[in-house]
Amino acid sequence: MQKQGNAVFYCAFKLKKDANAQEFLQAAEKLKNEFISKQQGYVSWQHLHDGDTWADFIVFETMEDVKTFETNSEHEGDVAQHFYSFIDFDSIKQHYYVIEKQ
């Protein structure tokens, strides 16, 4: 049986019109250091940017780790709330992927 590849939490979004991109990136770094990187199965987090669209590409060891991360994120508190305060929630599109080949 072939081992399943790592899993990805992908979330595309736009920042609020008055959001400062540099402050957003600082909030993202703090969230990564204090919460995301400590989640079970965490591998990496990349921020993607194209014009006014941003995306988070967060890799975990398994899809179960992705689902646990998503559940835990709902209860993360002030650090997460500061990160989320930059995001236009109406613009969010998220999806889960399994990495088949690297």
CA atoms within 13 A on the CB side of 38: 9
Q: Are strands 42-50 and 87-98 parallel, antiparallel or unpaired?
A: unpaired
Q: What is the pLDDT of residue 3?
A: 55
Torsion of Cα atoms, 71 then 93 then 80 then 51, to 10° = 160
Q: What is the pLDDT of residue 92?
A: 97
- Residue 42: strand, helix, or coil: strand
Q: What is the pLDDT of residue 4?
A: 66
Number of domains in the chain: 1
Residue 20 included in any domain: yes
Residue 1 included in any domain: no
Q: How far is the C-alpha of 85 from the C-alpha of 24, rounded, in Å? A: 9
Q: What is the pLDDT of residue 66?
A: 95
Which residue range(s) make up the domain with 34? 11-49+61-97
What is the residue-level pLDDT of the chain in tens, covering all 102 positions?
445 679 999 999 999 999 999 999 999 999 999 999 999 999 999 999 999 999 999 999 999 999 999 888 877 788 889 999 999 999 999 999 998 887
Residue 91 included in any domain: yes
Q: What is the pTM for the complete model shown?
A: 0.87
Q: What is the pLDDT of residue 1?
A: 41
Q: Are strands 42-50 and 7-15 parallel, antiparallel or unpaired?
A: unpaired
CA 29 to chain centre: 11
- Over its C-alpha atoms, the chain yields an Rg (Å, rounded) of 14
Classify burial at 48, counting beta carbons within 10 Å of its beta carbon; exposed 0-12, middle 13-18, buried 19 or more: exposed
